[in-house]
Amino acid sequence: MTKVFISDTKKGVNTAVAEMFTNIEKDGLILESSKDVYIKVNGINIYPHVHTSPEVLEAVIKYLKGKGGKIHVMENASQCAVTRVVFAVTGYKEICDKLGAEIIYLDEEKTKSFEFKGKSSMKDDPKGYHLKTF
């Protein structure tokens, strides 16, 4: 069963993030042996309330780096926004640069086809994936 944790930020974002990860870590280690961590922020645009709080991103990166994580932060902005611009305006780029996190601008990367494995398409199973080719 999926577990959901909610943490109050009245004591500060860093405290809330640490509390969240402490709850998750009760089930064991949170990092694989590679230590690679890919954080997909919600950075769809620069306007208030449409992107992950920069303070939360910074706290999460600091926490995971403290555990030895190699941090990669990625996004593909939408609403006709350019991800690189969103990262600059929201402060994500400055945070990543300061903390040594690699930025992956998904809208600048090459695309690859991906085959879903382990679950059939809807043509074979009504509860399967709805696959589309673009």
pLDDT tens readout for residues 9-23: 999 999 999 999 999
Instruction: Map out the domains of the chain as residue ranges.
Output: 34-108
- Asked if the model's pLDDT at residue 67 lies above 90, the reply is yes
Query: How many other CB atoms are there within 10 angstroms of residue 134's CB atom?
Result: 4
> Which helix (DSSP H) or strand (DSSP E) does residue 86 occupy?
helix 83-90
**Mean pLDDT, rounded, for 119-130:** 77
Burial of residue 116 (number of CB atoms within 10 Å: 0-12, 13-18, 19+): exposed
Task: Determine contact, residues 61/96, Cβ cutoff 8 Å.
Answer: yes
Stretch 69-81: mean pLDDT: 92
- Ranking 24-28, 53-57, 74-78, 100-104 by mean pLDDT, the lowest is 24-28
Most confident of 19-23, 31-35, 59-63, 129-133: 59-63
pTM attached to this predicted model: 0.81
pLDDT at 82 over 90: yes
